[in-house]
Structure 1
Amino acid sequence: MSHSTRVLKSEWTKVRSVRSTVWTLATALLVSVGLGALICGVTASTFDDMSSSEQVTFDATYTSFAGMGIGQLAMIAFGVLIVSAEYSTGMIRNSLAAVPQRGTFLWSKVLIAGALVLVVGMVTSFCAFFLGQALLGSHGVGIGDEGVLRAVVGGGIYMALIAMFAVGITFVLRSPLLAFAILMPFFFLISNILGNVEATKKVGQYLPDQAGTTVMAVVPDTLNRPYGPWEGLLIMVAWTAAALLAGFFVLKKRDA
C-alpha cells in the first residue's frame, strides 16, 4: 500500500470515527429535504392566491431547494468539525508527525471529505427536488425540463462546495469556536443582508453563497444576478479554492 493510500485510508477512518460529523451530514439532508417539502406544500396550497406576475415567474425547481439555506449550515458545521476536531484534541500533532508532508495531509483530508459531502449533497438535492415537485403537483416541473437537471446537479455541487469552503477557513483559523463564530452568522444572516440591500448588493451578490445558489435557479428572474448559473457556480469555486489555498499556506507556515 502506497503512502498516499495509507493517508487517505487514515482520513476516512477519522471521518467515520467522529460521531458528530455523521450527525451533521444527516442533519443537512433531513433539514434541506424536510423544510423544502414543507415550503412546497404550503406553496401548492396558496398558489392560486399569488398574483399573475408571481405565477408566471414562479420557479418550481428553486422552491424545492428552499430548505438548503438552513441545511447548508450543517454542511458548514461538518467542514469545521473535521478540521477543528484535530486541533481541539491535540491530535493534529500526531497527524503531522505521521504525515510530515503537509500538502499530502491537507489534500487527502479534502479529497475524502469532498467526496463524502458531494455524495450527500447530490442525494439531498435529488431528494429535495423529487419530493418538492410531488408536493407541488400540477405546478411542478420534470427532471427533463430545460435547465432542471442542471439546477439539481448544481444543488449537490453547491452543498459540497460550501462544506469545502468551511474546511479551508477552519484550517486558517484553527479554532472551532472562532470558525463557528464567523461562518455561521455570516452565511445565515450577513451574506443575505449584503446580497439584498441596495447599497451593498453590487458587492454582496459576488459572495460565495449568493453566487453559488444561482446554479439552482431555472427561471432567470428568480435571483436577478448579473451573471448566469454556471458563472455563479464558478465564482463559488474560486472562493472555495482561495479558502483551501489559504488553509494550505497557514498549515505549511505555522506549527501544530
Structure 2
Amino acid sequence: MAATQVITSEWTKIRSVASTVWTLSLAAVVTVALGILISVLSKNEFDNMSARDRASFDPTFISFAGMSLGQLAMIVFGVLVVSNEYSTGMIRTSLAAVPQRGTFLFSKIAVATLLAFLVGIVTSFVTFFLGQAMLGSHKASIGDPGVLRAVIGGGLYMTLIAVFSMGVAAMLRSPMLSLGILMPFFFLISNILGNVSATKKVGQYLPDQAGSRIMQVVTPFDDDTPYGPWGGLGIMALWVIAALIGGYAVLRKRDA
C-alpha cells in the first residue's frame, strides 16, 4: 500500500474514534480555562507580592499554568492513537494490510502529530491572549522580547508530549500500562525529582521539566538551569526521538 493511502487510512481511523477527538478537545478547554483562572488569581495577588516576586513575575508563563493539566489529555490522546488497535485486536488486520511496519507506525504518528500540533498551537495562542486580558495592567504583549517564542513553544511542547506518549505506547502496546506509567511519571515522579534539591539536577533533564523552559520569558532569580529555552526543547525532542525509536524496534521485532 502506498504511503499516501496509509496516511489517509490513519486519518480516517483517528477521526472516527470519538475518544481521540474528545481528548484533544479536553486538552484545549482545560488549558485555556485553567490559564484564565490562574491569570485572574495572579492579578489579584500581585499587590501582595514581595518586591523579589514582582521582579520575577512572568505574565506569559502564568497564562500557561493550565498546560500542566492540559498535557494530561495530550498524553491520553497519544496513548489511545497508538494502543487502541492493540486493545481491540485490530492491529492484526492493520499489519496484514500494511506489512511495512515502519510505514504503518510513522504514518499513524505523522497524522496524530499534525493534529496535536494544530490543537496545541491554537490552544497556546488562545491561552496567551485570554490570560493576558485577565492580567490587565500586568500583561505582556506578543511583541515583547521572548514572548512569541514562548507562545509558539507552548504549542510545540503540547505536541511533543503527545508524540512522546505515542512512542511509549508503541513500546508497551497497552493503553492501561502506558497510562499507568506516563501519568505517575509526569505528575508525580518528575515534580518530585525537579523540586527536591538532591535530585534537582536529574529532574532538569526530564522531558517535561526541560521542555517547559520554552514557555518561560522571565528567568527566576534562583534559577541555575544549564540550558536555555531552545536547549530545553531540544532535550525534550531527544526524549521523543528515543521513544519513537523504541516503539519502532518493538513493533518490528514482536508479533501483533
Smaller-chain TM-score range? over 0.9
Contact 1:123 1:156 in 2 (8 A): yes
Shift of 1:129: 0.3
Shift of 1:220: 1.8
Secondary structure at the counterpart of residue 145 of structure 1: coil
Contact 1:215 1:232 in 2 (8 A): yes
Shift of 1:111: 0.7
1:216 corresponds in structure 2 to: 215
Which shows bigger deviation, 183-192 or 207-216? 183-192
1:54 corresponds in structure 2 to: 53
Alignment of 1:137-148 (within 5 A): 137-148=136-147
2:105 corresponds in structure 1 to: 106
CA distance in structure 1 between the partners assigned to 2:86 and 2:204 by the alignment:
33
List per-residue Cα deviations over 1:133-157 (Å, max 9, x = no partner). 0000100100000000000000000
1:122 corresponds in structure 2 to: 121
List per-residue Cα deviations over 1:99-134 (Å, max 9, x = no partner). 000000011011100000000000110011000000
Secondary structure at the counterpart of residue 57 of structure 2: coil
Letter matched to residue 242 of structure 1 = A
1:177 corresponds in structure 2 to: 176
Secondary structure at the counterpart of residue 86 of structure 1: helix
1:196 corresponds in structure 2 to: 195
1:233 corresponds in structure 2 to: 233
CA distance in structure 2 between the partners assigned to 1:82 and 1:111 by the alignment:
11
Secondary structure at the counterpart of residue 144 of structure 2: coil
Letter matched to residue 88 of structure 1 = S
Alignment pair present for 1:14 and 2:48? no
1:253 corresponds in structure 2 to: 253
CA distance in structure 2 between the partners assigned to 1:146 and 1:204 by the alignment:
27
Shift of 1:223: 8.4
CA distance in structure 2 between the partners assigned to 1:107 and 1:25 by the alignment:
20
Shift of 1:221: 1.9
Secondary structure at the counterpart of residue 37 of structure 1: helix
CA distance in structure 2 between the partners assigned to 1:158 and 1:180 by the alignment:
19
Which shows bigger deviation, 194-203 or 146-155? 194-203
CA distance in structure 2 between the partners assigned to 1:7 and 1:151 by the alignment:
34
Contact 1:214 1:223 in 2 (8 A): no
Which shows bigger deviation, 221-230 or 175-184? 221-230
Contact 1:70 1:188 in 2 (8 A): no
CA distance in structure 2 between the partners assigned to 1:221 and 1:228 by the alignment:
13
Letter matched to residue 93 of structure 1 = R
List per-residue Cα deviations over 1:197-219 (Å, max 9, x = no partner). 11111111100000000000001
Runs of 4+ residues over 3 Å off in structure 1: none
List per-residue Cα deviations over 1:161-219 (Å, max 9, x = no partner). 00000000000000111001000111111101111111111111100000000000001
Shift of 1:230: 0.2
Contact 1:121 1:155 in 2 (8 A): yes
In the comparison of the two structures, how many residue pairs are matched?
Answer: 255
CA distance in structure 2 between the partners assigned to 1:204 and 1:156 by the alignment:
22
CA distance in structure 1 between the partners assigned to 2:68 and 2:51 by the alignment:
27
CA distance in structure 1 between the partners assigned to 2:91 and 2:199 by the alignment:
39
Identity %: 64
CA distance in structure 1 between the partners assigned to 2:222 and 2:137 by the alignment:
23
Give the RMSD, CA atoms, in angstroms.
Answer: 1.0
Letter matched to residue 239 of structure 2 = W
Shift of 1:47: 0.7
CA distance in structure 1 between the partners assigned to 2:21 and 2:204 by the alignment:
32
How does the TM-score come out when normalised to structure 2? Answer: 0.98
